[in-house]
Amino acid sequence: MECLFCKIAKGEVPSDIVYEDDKIIAFKDIHPKAPVHILILPKKHIPSVNQLEPEDKELVGESILVAQKIAKEQGVDKTGYRLIFNIGKDAGETIGHLHLHLLGGKRLP
Ligand code: 5GP
Ligand code: ZN
């Protein structure tokens, strides 16, 4: 079975999309851990940071620039926010498709 985030990227599974271009998609996390909780990911299926290749560096850079733009749109650029990649079980990673969490809108623990 194809991965959930690939399905969301293709529009086969609905999500609350806040940004999309040909390479990157960003949508609201279904179980938000902060008032602003957005997931930003390359549409290309890269399992995690562990599998990143040099050819992916532009995608990662673009993902962070998309996060910057969303942070501004969501009004947390001045108050602060956190960008997180979870890698593997000790980090609590549950979905094996590279994604960046953008969390903000409250004082984060
Ligand atoms: P991870 O723990 O792998 O870093 O993060 C996966 C995130 O995906 C979790 O925060 C979880 O709430 C979110 N998530 C899981 N399934 C769905 C879904 O079907 N739709 C959306 N929008 N988010 C999801
Ligand atoms: Zn995938």
What are the tens digits of pLDDT across the range 18-44? 999 999 999 999 999 999 999 999 999
| Ligand 1 atom with minimal separation from the 4 CA | 19
pLDDT in tens, 81-104: 999 999 999 999 999 999 999 999
State the Cα–Cα distance between residues 25 and 10, nearest whole angstrom.
Answer: 10
Cα-to-centroid distance, 96 and ligand 2 (Å)? 7
Rounded to an integer, what distance in angstroms lies between the CA atom of residue 79 and that of residue 71? Answer: 10
Ligand 1 within 6 A of 17 CB?
no
Question: How far apart are alpha carbons 105 and 25 in whole angstroms?
Answer: 21
Ligand 2 centre to CA of 1 (Å) is 10
Question: Which sequence positions are flagged as catalytic?
Answer: 99
* 86 CB near ligand 1 (under 6 Å): yes
Q: What is the pTM of this model?
A: 0.98
